[in-house]
Amino acid sequence: MRPPLDELLDTTHVVSLPLVSRFRGIDVREAMLLEGPHGWTEFSPFTEYADPEAAAWLAAAIDFGWNAAPPLLRDSIPVNATVPALAAADVPATLARFAGTRTAKVKVAERGQTLDDDVARVAAVRAALGPEGRIRVDANGAWNVDEAEHAIHALAPYDLEYVEQPCATVEELAEIRQRVRYMGIPIAADESVRKASDPLAVARAGAADVLIAKVQPLGGVRRVLSLEAEVGLPMVVSSGLETSVGISMGLHLAGALPSLDFDCGLGTAALLAADVTDAPLLPRDGALPVRRVVPSPGLLRRHAATQDRTLWWRARLERCWELLEA
């Protein structure tokens, strides 16, 4: 079901939420919330994304708010901590925000930093989690193949669960996967799935062992479930740094997947210094419940975006809605 544009616009609230620390080059996260007949939903593509890419995020928001969610196979989802590209000394305080998590995803290959910075950060995470903790690293496609091979060798002593998007292209992922196969470190694909015109290309090319599934950029819960049925690789459901409303969408996907072999990257509300609900989806005992989220009217008012930004988001929604209609 796709509602009329006026119906969507009548329900919108645009918020601007501060982050605990700088992440993805931003200090504030903007998002548009909408209320459909099946509950609250979120449209929050990052501001630099062009309309054709952002339209998939709107399709996901409409799917979650205007259609019933698929049946759940589980009602609790284990999640990982997310460690931004911060100084090693700041790692313990960041991990403390993710209560009870046994897995950490560590950002590496940050512009302006060095491999030594990455090694120090990952070493600090290993020291905090102990030998039984699980560490995955995410380079966001910043390395070429040779750089990726060198970095993986440097980070391997810290017992990596997998390396996420070490290189930008599918061809590079396939090559680095072959180069490090003997090390037994899996390669995960994120941008090569969610930003691709053909999300299945990475699997056909033998370029990844694991797929990172972010429900908004992939077009919604039902769309990802259909991809999972075709791709034949394990999925890790992750967040696009959403509010608890958007994270709820990801939790419903994780709850409906036929199998869930990895902890999911859905604990990112812990990276927000404010949220839209009095009951935010923060990890407890390393997990999150699968539930809908209802924003607090007071928090929507307190964190409302400026009028200019609200008009910008409404115009963006209109353009994306027209793309979906076309």
Verify whether residue 105 is a known catalytic residue. Answer: no
Tally of CB atoms within 10 A around 27: 11
Q: Which of 29, 105, 107, 126 is an active site residue?
A: 107
CA distance 138 to 141: 8
Rg (CA), the chain: 19
Which structure tokens are listed for 207? 């370029």
Q: Which of 214, 223, 252, 316 is an active site residue?
A: 214
Angle at 260 between CA 280 and CA 291, to 5 degrees: 25
Would you say 48 is a known binding-site residue? no
Residue 212 belongs to what H/E stretch?
strand 210-214
* Helix runs in 104-144, H state only: 115-129
Would you say 138 is a known binding-site residue? yes
Which structure tokens are listed for 148? 């990726």
Verify whether residue 107 is a known catalytic residue. Answer: yes
Packing angle, helices 145-155 and 170-179, rounded to 10: 40
Nearest partner of 94 among 105, 104, 83, judged by Cα? 83
Would you say 159 is a known binding-site residue? no
- Summarize the annotated binding site for Mg(2+) as residue ranges: 138, 164, 190
- Summarize the annotated binding site as residue ranges: 138, 164, 190
What positions carry a catalytic annotation? Answer: 107, 214
